[in-house]
Structure 1
């Protein structure tokens, strides 16, 4: 059974978000990391880069494939998890903790995000 923490928000692209005021810390879900397999390389943006909602902001390379990750909300990157450069396996080992990807200052609506219950239902439909 995949872990879906109740205190986070989710996107249909399998990113999780921890919202705190106008900031969102973003990573991939437990479901996504299981689908990818062992992550061997992480490419992330630089601090200060701006993205629109739905834009790819980086990629994760696993032993199976390379997958882009998408920013669920428009925003500017204010922090990047640089420890993933040397330890990309953290995305697999702790996707909701040490495996976070970026923190952004976001603007716009969070209406398209899913609750944990909605994300779980979405996974069952997929």
Structure 2
């Protein structure tokens, strides 16, 4: 019986684990909320210091305080895109005009071979 060539799985092609994805999203959320807290603190300091163009600096801090939480929640809930081949196979299989392949008989199916040396 002819042996099939061994095709190693590349680790670089493997998807990140669910735990790693969650940790990354949590870190990103905490950093963005830290930037928001910094905007609040800088805004309070600016009000007390009365620098020139105070209205400009306070408006920038205000935009940061309003937009950053919204973006942080969107990015924290963002997941990596699904693999293209999974979506493509699902789409093409529904819209094909050809009939689905017939199942192979037991004699025609490839058998799993395990080589064990004593």
Q: Same fold (TM over 0.5)?
A: no
Query: Higher strand proportion, which one?
Result: 1
Compute the TM-score of the two structures, normalised by the length of structure 1.
0.19
- Please give the TM-score of this superposition, normalised by the length of structure 2: 0.20
Higher relative contact order (CA 8 A, sep 6+): 1
Give the structure with higher Rg (CA): 2
